[in-house]
Amino acid sequence: MGQVHVLEHPLIQHKLTIMRSKDTPTKEFRELVQEVAMLMAYEITRDLPLAPIAIETPVAPTVAKVIHGKTLAIVPVLRAGLGMADGILQLIPNAKVGHVGLYRDPETLEPVEYYCKLPQQMDLREVIVVDPMLATGGSASAAIEAVKRRGSTSVKLMCLVSAPDGIARVQRDHPDVDIYVASIDERLNDHGYIVPGLGDAGDRLYGTK
Ligand code: URA
């Protein structure tokens, strides 16, 4: 079973609280999504392997550490995931970025893939699927399925706010995937919104309604 990591760092929690407030305007909300995503990426990448390389400082030759092994791919789920990807890229500018677009079938209510463009060699990459809100888990599960179908074997899911239902769904569908969130909120309401949540993340990021 994939583990659930709630990232309790005070900076993450403080910024998330400001994002939750309905009075936080679009510009500030967008900046905060990026900042929190960057801080979360710092935590998520703690276990990246390092390897020694020989370099010369201005003072002496030495052996120092660099990140080694699988290269990263960030895969935001359109559209709200884009705001998080921008933040992660500030910390890991060399990461490749793929995109997955999903819409909800009005009859089955299940997510349907309408767009998927991923970097080459997904089988060799450490993949972080990003979506701010893990509500029912349907989209996150479908996005993970999309990257696995293209060869990924090492996938993490990173969300800002989650509901217990969403976590259970991803754990059921993808027991190999670790989930990283800043909060596990109480529940979903009748409209599928996370309570207390922060509203519609896409609308709040882009000033739409
Ligand atoms: N998507 C959102 O943007 N917000 C929610 O609360 C649930 C799903």
In this predicted complex, what is the ipTM? 0.95
Helix (H, G, I), strand (E, B) or coil at 128: strand
Mean of the per-residue pLDDT values of the chain: 96
Q: Determine if ligand 1 sits within 6 Å of the CB of residue 179.
A: no
Mean pLDDT along residues 136-158: 97
Q: What is the pLDDT of residue 108?
A: 85
Strand partners for 64: 53
Spatial distance between the Cα atoms of 32 and 54, rounded to a whole number of angstroms: 38
Q: Containing H/E element for 92?
A: none
Nearest residue to 103 (alpha-carbon basis) of 62, 142, 52:
142
Residues listed for the chain: 209
CB-side exposure of 85: number of CA atoms within 13 Å? Answer: 23
Active site residue 204: no
**Which residue of 22, 78, 198 sits with most ligand 1 atoms within 8 Å of its CB, as the best mutation to test the pocket?**
198
pLDDT band at residue 1 using 50, 70 and 90 as cut-offs: confident
Predicted model pTM: 0.95
